[in-house]
Amino acid sequence: MSGSRIAIYGVAAVVLLALPFAGSHYEHFLLNTALIYTLIALSLVILIGYAGQISIGHAGFWALGAFASAILVTKTGAPFFAGVLFGGVVAAAFGALVAIPALRVQGHYLAIATLGFALIVQQILFEWESLTGGRQGLFVPRPELAGYEFNNDFGYYYVILAIVVPFFLLTVRLPKTRFGRRLIALKLSPLAAASFGVNRARYLTAAFTLSAFLTGISGALYAHLIGHLATETFSLVTSLSFLTMAVIGGILSPIGAVLGGIYLTIAPEFLREFKSAQMVLYGVLLVVFMRFLPHGLASLPQRIASIARRRTSEPAAAPESRRHD
Amino acid sequence: MTDIKQALFVRNLSLAFAGLKALDDVSFSVPAGSIFGLIGPNGAGKTTLLNCLTRIYTPNSGSLTFGDVELLTRPLHDISSLGIARTFQNLELFGAETALDNVLIGALSRTPIPAVADMLGLPSARRILHAASKRALEALDRLGIAEAADRQVATLSYGVQKRVELARALVTAPRLLLLDEPAAGLNADETRALANVLRELRQAHNMTIILVEHDMSLVMGVCDMLVVLDHGEVIAQDVPSVVRKNPEVIKAYLGEEDGNAA
């Protein structure tokens, strides 16, 4: 690792570890929410950014992770960490299932298939009252670690951080791995990738499974943060807000996922008044970003630099080179 | 021909698209270690035949035997592991990646890395990736385009992109190499260099090469054997010097085109 990279990681580590000391109780809650959303955005970077597959059904995986963890912990008294892992595994299993339509359909059709999946999950969770509490919802105990209960979000922040950071590093690393390179190749030219040995079915299934696993873990962490689960949380609006978050942050970059997570945490604070018009706003934001900043907030510095270059030297407008378009 | 080992048998291959016969009972065999030209006018079925060989298309009937493997029993993604690599008529590159990363996909095609080592970037995985990178760079260098390694492949000229595709195929160290119009977009010097590369591959690596090409100087210059397709049928099969005098071939192809046969 080069010196500058060590410095960047070092500063990031200090900032992340020191962050909660500056804030109030509510701000700790927001920090935790941002980390939990970041994990979802990372899962979408893997699925959409790397694998080139679309999903507007990630609220379904999120719900599965949340309820699976909550149910395991409340019904069997399993420890918190077992619940989180179980949440990830259940969501991952459904991820493998959702990959099946992805092998047959693409683009709009896949979007609708994943949307249908999320709606079905939400409906089943709502109807299955004996397990999920249905209309009443489900109370979820606070996270605990070896008998120590995290009663406030200050301590829980470090637990979530310890889980999210490795997934962040994995997402950063993925494009440099054999698996990640071949996955991205499959997105860029399915024909060439397959001709050079990439098994499309296996790679897409792996991408969906991994993405759902991350989102399931996120759902489980969310369940224990919020303390009470209601199925209406996991609606179409939620799925759409996840997609918006990933696009606004930058669908190709793990840093973009972090920015997206921060955006989705802060946005409701501003959008609260709009209530039911939120969907419209998400839609508008999505379109605006797709049009003017297709690689999201993460690409803002390069975008500004390229505009500045164009201003100063008219004809020499170098094309923006972005990887894996 | 029976005393020479045959690398590939094409037997009674037929394929129709919506009633149109793209390949009509095509049979021939390709001697091991030869450069085998597949020529014919546009729409004769040459690329269709390559696409059958690499399992992009499934023929309606017939068989394709490579060594002792029946190719039609294998899926598309198995073809590379059998030692078959190809280039595409209309470039199939990973446009947003660098030239080196494109070739690296070829270099990694037959080099698995255990998933855990790969994800964690363990030294064993890094060694394999590093070695693959090195082979990819050597492949680019061999075709004289090493300086393009770090350039985004979509920004390179057509001729260089063609060679990146060739490098990506070569780096898999195939036993059978399928080239779909490799000289398209190359200038005369580059075409001569390509001819030398092909001869060297045949001699030094005993590679079997199937060459689909319109550049007759290249075809006549390097091929040991030719098959001429017209409207999906084999109309001639012989050494280049005989094929070029075949009246049916001249009528179907060489004469009609524009006399670039010489």
ipTM of the complex, rounded to two decimals: 0.91
CB-CB neighbors (< 8 A) of B108 in chain A = 178, 181-182
Nearest-CA neighbor of B83 among B93, B69, B72, B94? B69
Ordered domains of chain A (ranges, CATH): 3-312 (1.10.3470)
Angle between helices A254-271 and A25-44 (to 10 degrees): 130
Can you tell me the distance from the alpha carbon of B243 to that of A219, in angstroms, rounded to the nearest whole number? 69
Q: Which of residues 75-114 of B touch A (CB under 8 A)?
A: 75-81, 85-86, 88, 92-97, 101, 104-106, 108-113
Angle in degrees, 0-180, between the axes of helices A25-44 and A58-76, rounded to the nearest 10: 120
The pLDDT value given to residue A107: 76
CA A264 to chain centre: 11
Q: What's the pLDDT score for residue B173?
A: 94
Instruction: Decide: B207 and B33 in contact? Cβ < 8 Å.
Output: yes
Residues in B 118-137 with any Cβ partner in A closer than 8 A = 118-119, 121, 125, 128-129
> For the residues B98-113, what does the mean pLDDT come to?
96
Write down the pLDDT at residue A1: 61
> How much is the pLDDT for A325?
44
* CB pair distance less than 8 Å for A199 and B77: yes
Q: Flag whether pLDDT at A324 surpasses 70.
A: no
Q: What is the pLDDT of residues A18-77, one digit of tens each?
A: 888 888 888 899 999 999 999 999 999 999 999 999 999 999 999 999 999 999 999 998
A173/B96 Cβ within 8 A: no
- Lateral strand order in the sheet of B225-230: B84-86, B176-180, B208-212, B35-39, B225-230, B233-238
What Rg do the C-alpha atoms of chain A give, in angstroms? 20
Residue B230 amino acid letter = D
- CATH number for the B86-173 domain, one of 1.20.1050.10, 3.40.50.300, 3.20.20.70, 1.10.10.10? 3.40.50.300
CB contact under 8 A, B97 and A324: yes
- Which of A177, A185, A188 is closest, CB to CB, to B119? A177
Which residue is closest to B118 within chain A, CA to CA?
A: A177
d(CA B103, CA A209): 28
* Percent of all residues in chain A with a pLDDT value above 90, rounded to a whole number: 57
pLDDT surpasses 50 at B1:
no
**Closest residue by Cα to residue A30 from A263, A248, A247, A321:** A263
Both structure tokens of B130? 């590093």
Nearest to A194 among B77, B94, B129 (CB): B77
Cβ-based contacts of B110 with chain A (< 8 Å): 197
Q: What percent of chain B has pLDDT over 90?
A: 80
Residue B188 clears pLDDT 50, i.e. is over it: yes
Q: Please say whether the beta carbons of B44 and B232 come within 8 A.
A: yes
| Residue A124 DSSP SS3 | helix
User: For B12-19, what is the mean pLDDT?
Assistant: 92
User: CA triplet A178, A181, A185: central angle to 5 degrees?
Assistant: 135
Kindly identify which residue of chain B lies nearest to residue A198, measuring between CA atoms: B77
Pairwise CA distance, residues B46 & B86, whole Å: 13
Contact by Cβ (8 Å): B215, B183: yes
Distance from CA of B258 to the nearest CA of A (A): 33
Instruction: Indicate if the alpha-carbon torsion angle A284, A47, A116, A275 is positive or negative.
Output: negative
Residue A225 confidence (pLDDT):
94
Which of A181, A188, A199 minimises the CB distance to B96? A188
Instruction: In whole angstroms, give the CA distance from residue A69 to residue A87.
Output: 5
Distance CA(A190)–CA(A293), nearest Å, equals 26
Question: Confidence class of residue B210 from pLDDT cuts 50, 70 and 90?
Answer: very high
B1-83+177-262 and B86-173 agree in CATH topology: yes
Judge: A188–B97 Cβ closer than 8 Å, yes or no.
yes
| Chain A interface mutation, best of B50, B97, B171, B178, highest count of A Cβ atoms under 10 Å | B97
> Span B22-45, mean pLDDT?
93
- State residue B3's pLDDT score: 56
Contact A52, A186 (CB under 8 A): yes
H/E element holding A228? strand A228-229
Mean pLDDT across chain B: 91
Question: Tell me, what's the pLDDT at B254?
Answer: 53
Structure tokens at A277: 């018009």
The model's pLDDT over A253-262, given as tens digits with 9 standing for 90+, comes to 999 999 999 9
A195 and B125 in contact by Cβ < 8 A?
A: no
Residues of A in contact with B104 (CB under 8 A): 181
- Reply yes or no on whether the pLDDT at B182 is more than 90: yes
Pairwise CA distance, residues A47 & A252, whole Å: 10
Position B222 pLDDT exceeds 60:
yes
CA B188 to chain centre: 20
Query: What would the two tokens of residue B163 be?
Result: 């060679």
What homologous superfamily does CATH list for B1-83+177-262? P-loop containing nucleotide triphosphate hydrolases (3.40.50.300)
Name the A residues in 168-187 with CB < 8 Å from any B CB: 170, 173-174, 176-179, 181-182, 184-185
- pLDDT bracket for residue A294 (50, 70, 90): confident
Q: What is the pLDDT of residue B256?
A: 52
Kindly report the nearest CA distance between residue A248 and chain B, in angstroms.
Answer: 21
Domain positions in chain B: 1-83+177-262, 86-173
Residue B261 pLDDT: 41
Give CA separation, A183 vs A52, A249, B130, in Å. 9, 22, 19
Q: Is the dihedral of CA A255, A261, A266, A271 positive or negative?
A: positive
Banded model confidence at residue A198, pLDDT cuts 50, 70, 90: very high
Tokens for A324, please give them. 């894996």
Which positions in chain A touch B153 (Cβ < 8 Å)?
none
The Cα–Cα gap between B32 and A107 comes to 44
Is residue A90 within 8 A of residue A31, CB to CB? The reply is: no
SS (H, E, C) chain B: CCCCCEEEEEEEEEEEECCEEEEEEEEEEEECCCEEEEECCCCCCHHHHHHHHCCCCCCCEEEEEECCEEHHHCCHHHCHHHCEEECCCCCCCCCCCEHHHHHHHHHCCCCCCCHHHHHHCCHHHHHHHHHHHHHHHHHHHHCCCHHHCCCEHHHCCHHHHHHHHHHHHHCCCCCEEEEECCCCCCCHHHHHHHHHHHHHHHHHHCCEEEEECCCHHHHHHHCCEEEEEECCEEEEEECHHHHCCCHHHHHHHHHHHCCCCC
Nearest-CA distance A49 → chain B (Å): 13
Give the SS3 label for residue A42: helix
Average pLDDT over residues A124-148: 85
Of A185, A188, A195, nearest to B86 by CB-CB distance is A195
To the nearest whole Å, the CA of A191 is away from the closest chain B CA by 7
How is A92-112 classified by DSSP, letter by letter? HHHHHHHHHHHHH--HHHHHH
User: Residue A319 and residue B88: Cβ atoms within 8 Å?
Assistant: no
Contact A204/B at CB under 8 A: no
State the pLDDT at residue A317: 42
User: Which residue in A196, A199, A200, A253 has the most chain B C-beta atoms within 10 A of its own C-beta, making it the best mutation to test that interface?
Assistant: A196
Measured CA to CA in angstroms, residue A58 lies from A65, A194, A216, A230, B207 at distances of: 11, 27, 9, 16, 49
Out of A178, A194, A199, the one facing B118 most closely (by C-beta) is: A178
In the beta sheet, which residues pair with residue B253? none
CB contact under 8 A, A188 and B77: no
What is the CA B244 to chain-centroid distance, rounded?
A: 23
Of A197, A188, A178, A180, nearest to B109 by C-alpha is A197
pLDDT given for residue A320 in this prediction:
45
Interface residue of B56, B71, B76 to substitute, partner A, most A CBs within 10 Å: B76
Question: Which pLDDT tens digit goes with each residue over A12-34?
Answer: 999 889 888 888 888 899 999 99
Which pLDDT value is given to residue A322?
A: 45
Pick from B80, B108, B172: which is nearest to A178 by CB? B108
Q: What's the angle, vertex CA B102, arms to CA B100 and CA B106, rounded to 5? A: 105
pLDDT at B260: 47
What is the β-pairing status of strands B69-70 and B61-66?
A: antiparallel
Which burial class, exposed, middle or buried, applies to A22 when counting CB atoms under 10 A from its CB (0-12, 13-18, 19+)? exposed
The one-letter amino acid at B40: G
Spatial contact of A257 and A249, defined as CB atoms under 8 Å apart: yes
Q: What is the pLDDT of residues B119-156, one digit of tens each?
A: 999 999 999 999 999 999 999 999 999 999 999 999 99
CA distance B98 to B155: 9
pLDDT tens digit sequence for A298-309: 988 888 888 888
A193 contacts on B by Cβ (under 8 Å): 94, 105
Nearest Cα of chain B lies from the Cα of A35 at a distance, in angstroms, of: 22
pLDDT in tens, A263-280: 999 887 777 777 777 778
Cα B172-B176-B180 angle, rounded to 5 deg: 90
